[in-house]
Chains A and B, each alone.
Chain A
Amino acid sequence: MSKSFDFKKFLSKNSIWIVLIVMIIAMTFASPVFMTSGNLFNMLITESVIGILTMGIVFAILSKGIDLSPGAIVAWTAAVAASLAQNPDYSDKKFKNLPDLPVILIVLIALAAGTVFGLMNGLLIAYTKIPAFIATLGTQLIARSLAYIYTNSYPIPNLKSSFKTLGQAKFFGFLPSIVLFFIVFVCIAGFMLTQTRFGKNVYAIGGNDQAARVAGINVEKNLVKVYTWGAFCASMGGILLVSRSGASSTTMGLNYELDAIAAATVGGTSHSGGIARISGVIAGILILGILKNGMLLLGVNSYLQQALKGVIIIVAVVFDMRKNVKKS
């Protein structure tokens, strides 16, 4: 009796991981290539940038907000980073007289250029009280337009190899740097949520901002931090993406925020605020990644792919809602 009860509880608590495992098993049978380390790493690499963005967006959703700007910030930081990292001897450089900058400096400048948008998001949302949806929609448009203006919509190619190493290197002979960055961001996000005062504050603000205020939490300051962190993640994503692909283009990161929101949502992050677990979100990222990878391996028609993705998102959230309803 007690055994079956525990099993039920285990099922409902870990439903997302069970979905993931079922998908992995199904894919292993469906495609012989799927379970090869090469393919798994390729899938992880592809999901890494969106994964890093998701680590930022989770905080926004958790605080009962939303962030629509990361995809555009990716394009903008990618452009900034690329313009500073072109091969010194390339004839058609964007900045003709630019000296050979150290990679760390390029990264810092690009991070600053992108993170500023998060600061702007945060200040707008916290102090003018406009809805996060509107504020971040605005920044999305501004950031992408800035990327267009900055590059005249031309790609910026021919990046120097020291910069490309950032996104293309392999550690210990097998771990791609971009995946390593993803893991680092997961650790930072998980640490912040569970081990710091900031994380607890965000949980409380999302759950009930008035209660958080009365308990002495400076809601505004924390919201600014939330959106700044989101843009920081997006900026890092942009830098990694451009260093990996070797050239910036203004279409970069298009709709990445929607993929990130989907991953966070599938991973059990509640849009009513106050509920999120990094472990669940990772499962969400992997589920969507395997879905994409699986459809690619199986050669699913590209028109159909979108629909399947939609179905997965809806089903995942319906299950999650039911879980929460049962609890209360």
Chain B
Amino acid sequence: MSEYVLEMTDIVKEFPGVRALKGVQLKLRPGTVHGLMGENGAGKSTLMKCLIGIYHKNSGKILFRGEEIDYPDTHTALESGISMIHQELSPIPYRSVSENVWVGRQPMKGIIVDHKKMREDTLALFKRLEISIDPDEMMGNLTVAQMQMVEIAKAVSYDSDIVIMDEPTSSLTETEVGHLFRIIRQLREQNVAIVYISHKLDEIFQICDELTTMRDGEYIATDRAEDITIDELIQKMVGREVNEMFPKVDCPIGETVLKVENLSAGKAVKNVSFELRKGEILGFAGLVGAGRTETVEAIFGMRHKTSGKIYKDGVELNIKHPEDAIGNGIALLTEDRRGNGIVGVRSIADNTILANLGAYGFPLNHKKIRKDVDEYVAKLNVKTPNNEQLIMNLSGGNQQKVLVARWLLKNPDILIVDEPTRGIDVGAKSEIHSLITKLAGEGKAIILISSELPEVMGMSDRILVMHEGEMTGILSRDEFSQETIMKYATGEV
């Protein structure tokens, strides 16, 4: 037997017109956590889908426990000992937790499902993993984080030799991440090999033993985690050095553009007041659920505001609908890119001009549309063969760039960006950062919501911190420090 439990060599996968994997390799040792690194679109997910039978490789070799395999479907992969936690959860909301765990392989008593055993098995599994969720609870009543833990438990319950985790921490809080890491270490001791995919580099270095890096469908390198620094890793992923992660430039700050007074929206937002000036980037910091998104939604007319006043250039605004906000020069890049950002089944061009349709007359001036789209796609460096491509076929980072282009085309005075770099690869992230800074330099007023403290500290002129719907403080640049912000964010001040 070889020292590897899994050896994938020279894997090639082609889609019509695209070569997604160009001879990639991945070698897993039992009892290790193996980070799979690369920007969005590098081919990590495609590689994993080839392994578990969702896609079928065009050429190459996969050896699992020394035998060559090519699974026809995920079911076979699961039975053979490879399970995967997908990035997108697929819970069955109106069934119990235990039914969700054992769906498709319920313990049976003859032809009847053995509910008692199913419940006991769930309890035993949860106990082993130290998860405290009631197996009888309806799946739909759980928080997203709890659902994620159930999903993890489900993957573990197959007693697989290989567990693949695709962005498992995207909806987990810090304590829950700690919990997940305890589970991972437990699996490692049981000689399970884990493939760990994440954009959060600090997590990678905390938990991974080995790292394989991919770029544009090609294999770059495999390193031991202790032998490589973050900067070296980023360089391998991006293919160039990313020097200025937060290219903050001080630019002149002008007069007040937006003034918010005692803004409240139900229980989510209570009495928030602040001023935003021309050329300023105002960061919003806080824990998940602090009410930051809700605050900007209330300003933008997506959420009903129960009280408070909003002034722009000294004039009170009556905003009931996003239409009104946009008409007054306010734009919001929302955090939920799929939910209320992109129109997936339409082209890049259609998505770019969506907020600016009024500018093209009747009938629509297609020549002008083409010119604008070409210009902004080039300006934002959107990677696409052509602008008629459906936006759902782009990577997350490129989708985000199209959405930014949508608002730039509208040319707002105030741009609110909510988690603009979440789930986006390092290269696109730095491009979006420079763009925001540049916009501020051009005199736009910007609100930046981010859960990444380094990002919000690196980019902002001032930071407004929220805790449970209330504003706990506004910090100026010389007061910035992780400790101070966390104090305000946890309500200790």
Interface of A with B (CB < 8 Å)?
5, 191, 194-197, 200-201, 203-204, 207-208, 210-218, 270, 272-275, 326-328
Contacts and interface: CB of A to CB of B under 8 A. Distances in A.
B364 A197 contact: yes
Interface of B: 16, 300, 302, 321-323, 325-327, 332, 334, 339-346, 350, 353-355, 357-358, 360, 362-364, 390, 392-393, 406
Contact of B358 (A197, A203, A211, A214): A197
B394 to A, nearest CB: 11
Contact of B354 (A5, A196, A204, A274): A204
A197 B363 CA distance: 8
12 contacts: A203-B350, A208-B339, A208-B344, A211-B340, A212-B354, A216-B322, A216-B325, A216-B326, A216-B355, A275-B345, A326-B16, A328-B392
Contacts of B393: 327-328
Interface centre among A5, A200, A203, A326 (most CB of B within 10 A): A200
Chain B residues touching A, majority SS? helix
A190 B357 CA distance: 18
Given A200-B357, A215-B355, A274 B346 contact: yes
Interface centre among A196, A208, A211, A214 (most CB of B within 10 A): A214
Given A197-B360, A197-B364, A211-B341, A216 B327 contact: yes
Given A197-B364, A215-B355, A328-B390, A204 B341 contact: no
B322 A214 contact: yes
A72 B345 CA distance: 32
Contacts of A212: 343, 354
A218 B390 contact: no
A214 B334 contact: yes
A224 B341 CA distance: 23
Given A200-B364, A216-B327, A210 B339 contact: yes
- Return the 6 tightest CB-CB contacts between A and B, nearest first: A207-B343, A210-B340, A195-B363, A216-B326, A274-B345, A215-B355
B390 A211 contact: no
A207 B346 CA distance: 7
A214 B344 contact: no
Nearest to A275: B345
B355 to A, nearest CB: 4
B350 A204 contact: yes
A201 to B, nearest CB: 7
Given A196-B362, A208-B340, A218 B321 contact: yes
B363 A214 contact: no
B413 to A, nearest CB: 15
Given A197-B364, A204-B354, A208-B342, A327 B390 contact: yes
Nearest to A203: B346
Contacts of B334: 214
Contacts of B355: 215-216
Contacts of B302: 213-214
Contacts of B360: 197
A196 B343 contact: no
A196 B323 contact: no
B356 to A, nearest CB: 9
Contacts of A211: 339-343, 354
B321 A270 contact: no
A238 to B, nearest CB: 29
Contact of B364 (A195, A214, A273, A326): A195
B354 A217 contact: yes
Interface centre among A194, A208, A270, A326 (most CB of B within 10 A): A208
Interface centre among A200, A203, A215, A326 (most CB of B within 10 A): A215
A204 B363 contact: no
Given A195-B364, A197-B360, 20 more contacts: A191-B363, A196-B362, A197-B362, A200-B354, A203-B343, A203-B346, A207-B344, A207-B346, A208-B339, A208-B342, A210-B340, A211-B354, A212-B343, A213-B321, A214-B332, A215-B326, A216-B355, A218-B323, A274-B345, A275-B345
A124 B161 CA distance: 55
Contacts of B392: 328
A215 B344 contact: no
A117 B297 CA distance: 35
Contacts of A210: 339-340
Interface centre among B16, B342, B345, B346 (most CB of A within 10 A): B345
A214 B346 contact: no
A213 B346 contact: no
Given A214-B322, A214-B332, A217-B354, A207 B345 contact: yes
A89 B12 CA distance: 83
A206 B354 CA distance: 13
Nearest to A326: B16
Given A203-B350, A216-B323, A328-B393, A197 B357 contact: yes
A196 B364 contact: yes
